[in-house]
Structure 1
């Protein structure tokens, strides 16, 4: 036991002197040989100190040993030694060796958890990372990785707990706010999801992904006025953003302002002429405007109506070329050809619709 105690002192001095890890492993090996004798003695095997020293030496060996197999063998030995020390009737830790060992074990658990995490073995990683994060709650990266593991194994409440921990530690990563919002939406808590995305945007103004998620959530919850105001503000900054133009057009269309919607969809299409959603909605807007034209006087009605229906047809044919399996597009084209009394086209599209 005296030799083992001396090894602890020599190891601590070696750490302070920043000596070579090989030398430190030599000191540890010397100490462990003595501890093996102490483990077999009828008297010293019942001392807490025996197992505290063993856990201390093996936990440090686990950290500095470069061979992975040997390192985790030391780790397992340290965990077992701490368990034994704490099981003894006179368990105490006056020298702080067990406390230091527990700290080292957490470091090793984090290493093991991170290894599993980066190998996408999230279930394996979760237990280790949870324990380490609970002991180091101020480590936002650790909390974030723990949350992602929990989310991947569908433990959504646990995932939110660790995302919140990362958020409360002043993390600014927009992905954190996105993932939290997704979890709240899955729990049908749209109000908190909206607030979470607003918090994220306060830290990341005009962030593209956060903005898109926020606008889509406002649309899903029919908060159209708030969504429109946000889109208008963002369009001042992102003047070439096709999605923002599309969403602005959609809001105008929902509000019955089809003419403004057409302008917005065309803006989106000037950025990407193959933008399917914009082409479909543009066709639908032209149909709506054509329907309004039917309500006008006979003199104005026919020419304007025909022009609008032709524009709708052109837009929808382009959409159909890009996505020929979209039922809505085919159904709207059938309606247009029916109005034009083009029965051959109607029958052709109806046959196509039956193939879906």
Structure 2
């Protein structure tokens, strides 16, 4: 996920001579080298051959820089910038590549300053393009080495230069997150989203940042947007439901779960959450059905067993309060069901204190003092 994708092919230009010279100059030699380089690229000649051609052009452009007349020509610097930028992206020698990357940046600055009529704009643009390709390579190395501060510094420049590239935007955001620059991460995750990214992780990260800023409604809308382009994605749906619960939107959460369960009938967590929400509203029969559905999927689902046992205890207590002739029978039935469910839960997780405490309460009501003492002794061991 953290890999930085390589961008579109390097932008090459062919510069034709627009000025007439009385004699063959160093600028002409440098200019010709660009034509030779383009021909070498088109015929798929190897990097060594390309570097030899570039070397000839760079020597000529350096000579032109030393002449009091041609050093003032923007073309001299534009050619130097382009050839240097190309060395920066094809030379496997990292030190040499970095050196020419710096030469290219300096030459671009001079070319822009001197090129008042923008006669060399295409050559300068190609040089700038290549420089950003090199920047991306440097960012890739920094990211791989966990130097996220350097990676972010480089990536934000590259992403700003290629704002439509969603992979770049995501990686810039991830680098920002790793240096805890969350506002900056938000900017680049939004850029990826606004440019049509569908990756669920982008929506999850955006929602998480909004939540950390207490912008809960924006977080919910972001997850809704994510679900629209990733229908029934379990991670997005779970985050959405949890965020609804965190913000007290229980009825909305129930509706989302009901809709999702029509598609994800094998999701035990959703059945558990559905049961839990109904249990909090004292809808114990609906909660019981949901927990049983979850247990059908996983018979050793501790949380479902525990909550079902607790629901039975609450139902038993409600039965005692009800003014009905069968309240005693209902109480006994519910307590017995609670005992069975909680014993299963206890068997799965014998160190859960809440389960043991509920069982102590049940056995106290049943006057099973031997069990009460046994379980109390177990509590003291925790």
**Aligning the two structures, in what range does the TM-score lie when normalised by the shorter sequence?**
0.7 to 0.9
Give 2:217's aligned residue: 191
Is contact 1:294–1:301 with CA below 8 Å preserved after alignment?
yes
Instruction: Give, in angstroms, the shift of residue 159 of structure 1.
Output: 1.0
**Alignment coverage as a number of residue pairs:** 351
For structure 2, list consecutive stretches of 5 or more residues without a partner in the other structure: 1-25
- Call closer, same or farther: CA 1:326–1:148 in 2, change over 3 Å: farther
Aligned pairs for 1:17-166 within 5 A: 17-41=43-67, 44-45=70-71, 48-83=74-109, 85=111, 90=114, 92=116, 93-96=118-121, 97-166=123-192
Moved more, 31-40 or 127-136: 31-40
What is the aligned partner in structure 1 of residue 37 from structure 2? 11
User: Once the 2 structures are TM-superposed, how far is the Cα of residue 212 of structure 1 from its aligned partner?
Assistant: 1.2
Provide the rounded CA distance (Å) in 2 between the counterparts of 1:321 and 1:77. Answer: 71
* Counterpart position of 2:202: 176
Q: How does 1:291-302 map to 2 (within 5 A)?
A: 291-296=317-322, 300-302=326-328
Q: Could you tell me how far apart the structure 1 residues matched to 2:362 and 2:70 are?
A: 94
Q: Which has the higher contact order (CA 8 A, sep 6+)?
A: 2
Looking at structure 2, the residues matched to 271 and 27 of structure 1 have their Cα atoms a distance apart, in angstroms, of 69
Greater Cα offset, 42-51 or 67-76: 42-51
Partner Cα distance (1:108, 1:223) in 2 = 49
Alpha-carbon distance in 1 for matches of 2:356, 2:66: 83
Contact map agreement 2:85 2:131 (CA 8 A) in 1: yes
CA contact (8 A) 1:10 1:27 kept: yes
Counterpart-to-counterpart distance in 2, 1:313 and 1:56 = 80
Q: Secondary structure at the match of 2:226?
A: helix
Residue number in structure 2 paired with 1:206: 232
Distance 1:70 1:331, change over 3 A: farther
Q: 1:256 aligns with which of 269, 273, 282?
A: 282
Aligned-residue CA RMSD (Å) = 2.6
Secondary structure in 2 aligned to 1:294?
A: helix
**SS of equivalent to 2:326:** helix
Deviations 1:259-292 (A, max 9, x none): 2101111110111122222122112111111111
Q: Which residue of 2 aligns with 1:347?
A: 376
Structure 1: runs of 5+ lacking an equivalent? none
> Counterparts of 1:196 and 1:27 in 2: how far apart (Å)?
52
Please give the alpha-carbon distance, in whole angstroms, between the structure 2 residues aligned to 1:139 and 1:58.
Answer: 25
Give the Å deviation of 1:134: 0.7
2:339 matched residue in structure 1: 313
Find out whether 1:218 has 2:244 as its counterpart.
Answer: yes
Task: Using structure 2 for the length normalisation, give the TM-score.
Answer: 0.82
Residues 12/325 of structure 1: CA separation in 2 closer, same or farther (3 Å cut): same
Greater helix content: 1
CA contact (8 A) 1:334 1:345 kept: no
